[in-house]
Amino acid sequence: MQKMSIFDSLLDKVWQIARNEEDFLTAFARLTCDRERVAMILALPQLQDFCVTDGFSGKCETLAEELRLRGDKLNLETAASTIDPAHATAKQALELYTSAIRVAPQGSMSLARSYKGRVQVLLRTGDTDLALRDVKRALGFQLPPEDAIKLLSLAASCHQHKRAWDQAEKVLQEALDKLRNSELENNVKASMTGEIISQLKTINHEKQQDNLKQKKLKKTDSEPRSGSWGIPEVTYGKNADIPAASAALRLCFSPQKGRYMEATRNIKIGSVLIVEEPYAWALSREAMAQRCLHCCRLVPAPIPCTQCSTVSYCSEDCRDTGWQDYHRFECHVLHHLLSAKELSKMALLVYRIAVTAFARADPTSGDGNLSQKSSAHERDSTSTESDPRCDYPSSVNSPASFPFLSSDYASVHGQVTNSGSRTPADKLKRATSAFFLMKCLRHVAQDMTDDVEMTTSLLRHLQSCSCNAYQITEHVVPDGDVRNATQNELGGGAYPTVSLCNHSCNPNVARHSIGRLCIVRAIRNIRKGDEILDNYGPHFLSHDLEERQKYLETQYFFRCICEACSEKWPTADRLHEKVTGYKCIHCSMNIGLNLLNLKTCPHCKKKCDYGKIAKRLRVLAREYDRALEDLLHRRLHECLKTCVEYCDVMDSVVVHPNKGFVKCQQAVSLCWSLLGNTNATRTNLTFSL
Ligand SMILES: [Zn+2]
Ligand SMILES: [Zn+2]
Ligand SMILES: [Zn+2]
Ligand SMILES: [Zn+2]
């Protein structure tokens, strides 16, 4: 049997106490605030000697060498074969080298050689920019001259592939110089010189041909794939009070709803309403091998942390910033957080929130201002708790102070915890988790704020994140086929601005991720004065009323009274295909099914050429079929153009719920998601050595 993780056995111990000591759970249940709960856990005699033992395994040269040699073997086989290198083999070799790089100790020869091996694979798969970066990394080591010269020759091949003839010649000249000054045997020197000269000749020949053709090919970007995200800007200009939001929104407050967002003008479907950097975020364990820990980019040739073998980065920049900002606090305890079965998947995010607050605290202010900030908000948390009626999800029961910044700890700290609605067992488990996270922090940073403060903050976030954190997602598109696209959870983040939106089972906005950013767009036309309503998971199309209410009650502690819930809208399978009626664009009253000769509303008497709208709908219905073809072929902008307009027109005149409308909405939402994080099987093997 596998050894139990430190946290799982700690929790076991606490459950035992709860079972064996009669008064313990009763007394714990009676406590009225998180600080008292924390104090009780901290005072438990059975936990006094608990500490997080290191158990940190770091790097392993033997394993690195084993992996690298397997990569080399595969590499040789593919290089020797006359058939085109199979995609799978290249991918496998790439994975072996990448794994070797991840576990190889800093500064070791096996790290340098693994980089060199990966250069060869990347060159073969045409990823020359990535290959060139690895060349640079490998050349940073004190390599034997043959290896260094071979690397320069590989670099020349990369430049050659990019038709950067001058650079190719330059590195080969460098290789020749190195060879001349080396102490290699003369026969080795002669043979290597011969190879380089012949490579130079080929390059020279290709260069002349290129000049003859006068074909100046556009140079490829030196930052491949990484700069390709089109990050949208908010529509209608930035909000001065809430910089992550559009100026078309404002933050409101009411005792019944808490904080919520409202439209200050009519908002068109498709408008970008929020673009937010998380206060803190974390990749899930599964995503750590594929994505950059710091920027969330998909990394085909990642670099590792200099100390652990768990995480990957796209670049030295991300690695160094990530280390400085948070990873130095988690590197040596990450294995404890990731191996615990009973620990919430939010634990790493919560840990990051605490370390972000700690790291951003002014070092001159003594023990950091996390505790000061927590104390300042203590009253908030107790008042929230004493009045569970006011516990609206994603909102706080007090007006915000402006500007409302995503990077301000107060924005996250103010989120509701729903403590008052949780069971004693739930709170006990969370308090134990908070205690464990505090001990992890203590293990890596002894000079932190005092134990009670820190644990109370952690407990607060363990509760608030379960109703305020958002998933970071990607769409997996197997072999580029959109029909088989599935959504995959990459991790979670704390987005204070997005959290200001309340829930509806028929939302008027849709969320998607671009890297670690959260983008919120209008998925319907929103009228001035309407509330901005997001969906927390159960949509009316996919979950029936009972399921939705149950989910929202347990997870978010409220009863939904959205239109879909109060009017008992049917789920997708029971929704009629046909339009059940049209509505007046002015007063929204039902104007029947025949629009053709209608010029005035029978209810409000206002004028509108409904015949024209009916014709437009007919044209758009035809174009919609073509738009779905566009979607299949990933012509996302073309698809969006038609679908957004179709939704727009349908939204204004069709009586909801309507199947055609929601289907079109789903196509729009899918396009937006596909413009963000995607993960397609790459099929760009175009170049062979
Ligand atoms: Zn990165
Ligand atoms: Zn690390
Ligand atoms: Zn609802
Ligand atoms: Zn009317």
Q: What does the pLDDT read at residue 3?
A: 77
**Percent of the chain surpassing pLDDT 70:** 89
Comparing 5-19, 371-385, 442-456, the range with the smallest average pLDDT is: 371-385
Rounded distance from Cα 564 to ligand 3 centre (Å):
5
Mean pLDDT score of the chain: 87
Q: Classify the C-alpha dihedral 607-611-615-617 as positive or negative.
A: positive
636 neighbors 671 (Cβ within 8 angstroms) = yes
Question: For the residues 359-379, what does the mean pLDDT come to?
Answer: 47
Rounded distance from Cα 537 to ligand 3 centre (Å):
11
Rounded distance from Cα 542 to ligand 3 centre (Å):
12
Q: What does the pLDDT read at residue 125?
A: 87
Q: What does the pLDDT read at residue 214?
A: 59
Rounded distance from Cα 659 to ligand 4 centre (Å):
23
Q: What does the pLDDT read at residue 209?
A: 87
The residues, any chain, with a CB within 8 Å of residue 454's CB and separated by 6 or more, are: 354, 370, 371, 438, 441, 448
**Which ligand has the shortest distance to the CA of 328?**
2
Q: What does the pLDDT read at residue 683?
A: 38
Kindly state the tokens that stand for 680: 């397609």
Question: For the residues 283-294, what does the mean pLDDT come to?
Answer: 93
Give CA 22 to chain center in angstroms. Answer: 44
Q: What does the pLDDT read at residue 377?
A: 38
Q: How far apart are CA 12 and CA 22, in angstroms?
A: 17
| Tens digit of each residue's pLDDT (9 = 90 or more) over 198-241 | 999 999 999 888 887 755 555 444 434 434 568 999 999 999 99
Comparing 212-221, 270-279, 641-650, the range with the smallest average pLDDT is: 212-221
Rounded distance from Cα 128 to ligand 2 centre (Å):
27
Angle 115-116-119 from CA coordinates, rounded to 5°: 90
**Which ligand has the shortest distance to the CA of 327?**
2
Q: Does residue 179 surpass a pLDDT of 70?
A: yes
Rounded distance from Cα 149 to ligand 4 centre (Å):
80
Spatial strand order in the sheet of 272-276: 272-276, 517-522, 509-514
Q: What does the pLDDT read at residue 56?
A: 84
Comparing 71-85, 130-144, 444-458, the range with the smallest average pLDDT is: 71-85
Q: Does residue 364 surpass a pLDDT of 60?
A: no
Rounded distance from Cα 525 to ligand 4 centre (Å):
18
Q: What does the pLDDT read at residue 393?
A: 37
Ramachandran angles phi, psi of 136, nearest 5°: -60, -40
Count other Cβ atoms within 10 Å, centred on residue 201: 10
Q: Spell out the alpha helix ranges (H) of 445-544.
A: 451-468
How is the chain split among helix, strand and coil, in percent rounded to 5? 50, 10, 35
Kindly state the tokens that stand for 622: 């035809």
Rounded distance from Cα 403 to ligand 3 centre (Å):
31
Rounded distance from Cα 303 to ligand 1 centre (Å):
10
Rounded distance from Cα 651 to ligand 4 centre (Å):
15
Rounded distance from Cα 455 to ligand 2 centre (Å):
24
Q: What does the pLDDT read at residue 19?
A: 93
Ramachandran angles phi, psi of 276, nearest 5°: -130, 135
Question: For the residues 624-643, what does the mean pLDDT come to?
Answer: 94
> Which fold is adopted by the domain 61-205?
1.25.40
Q: What does the pLDDT read at residue 374?
A: 42
93 neighbors 76 (Cβ within 8 angstroms) = no
Question: For the residues 425-451, what does the mean pLDDT come to?
Answer: 91
Q: What does the pLDDT read at residue 81?
A: 66
User: C-alpha distances in angstroms, 208 versus 156, 163, 219?
Assistant: 17, 11, 17
Q: What does the pLDDT read at residue 577?
A: 79
Delimit the domains of the chain by residue range. Answer: 61-205, 578-689
Rounded distance from Cα 321 to ligand 1 centre (Å):
9
| Tens digit of each residue's pLDDT (9 = 90 or more) over 68-120 | 999 999 888 877 665 555 577 888 999 999 999 999 999 999 999 999 999 99
Q: How far apart are CA 266 and CA 45, in angstroms?
A: 61
pTM: 0.88
Q: How confident is the model at residue 436 (pLDDT cuts 50, 70, 90)?
A: very high
| Tens digit of each residue's pLDDT (9 = 90 or more) over 574-633 | 888 788 889 999 999 999 888 888 899 999 999 999 999 999 999 999 999 999 999 999
Count other Cβ atoms within 10 Å, centred on residue 208: 11
Q: How far apart are CA 167 and CA 158, in angstroms?
A: 10
Question: For the residues 629-643, what does the mean pLDDT come to?
Answer: 94
Q: Does residue 54 surpass a pLDDT of 90?
A: no
**Which ligand has the shortest distance to the CA of 546?**
3
Q: How confident is the model at residue 511 (pLDDT cuts 50, 70, 90)?
A: very high
Q: What does the pLDDT read at residue 398?
A: 59
Q: How far apart are CA 473 and CA 476, in angstroms?
A: 10
Q: Does residue 376 surpass a pLDDT of 50?
A: no
Rounded distance from Cα 252 to ligand 4 centre (Å):
30
Question: For the residues 276-294, what does the mean pLDDT come to?
Answer: 94
Q: How confident is the model at residue 327 (pLDDT cuts 50, 70, 90)?
A: very high
Ramachandran angles phi, psi of 2, nearest 5°: -70, 145
Rounded distance from Cα 320 to ligand 2 centre (Å):
11
Question: For the residues 412-429, what does the mean pLDDT come to?
Answer: 91
Instruction: Please state whether the peptide bond connecting residue 657 to the residue before it is cis, i.e. omega within 30 degrees of 0.
Output: yes
Q: Does residue 167 surpass a pLDDT of 70?
A: yes
Q: Does residue 369 surpass a pLDDT of 70?
A: no
Rounded distance from Cα 346 to ligand 2 centre (Å):
19
Rounded distance from Cα 547 to ligand 1 centre (Å):
39
Q: What does the pLDDT read at residue 426?
A: 95
Q: Does residue 380 surpass a pLDDT of 80?
A: no
Neighbours of ion ligand 2 (CB under 5 A): 305, 307-308, 331
Q: What does the pLDDT read at residue 358?
A: 83
Partners of residue 487 on adjacent β-strands: 475
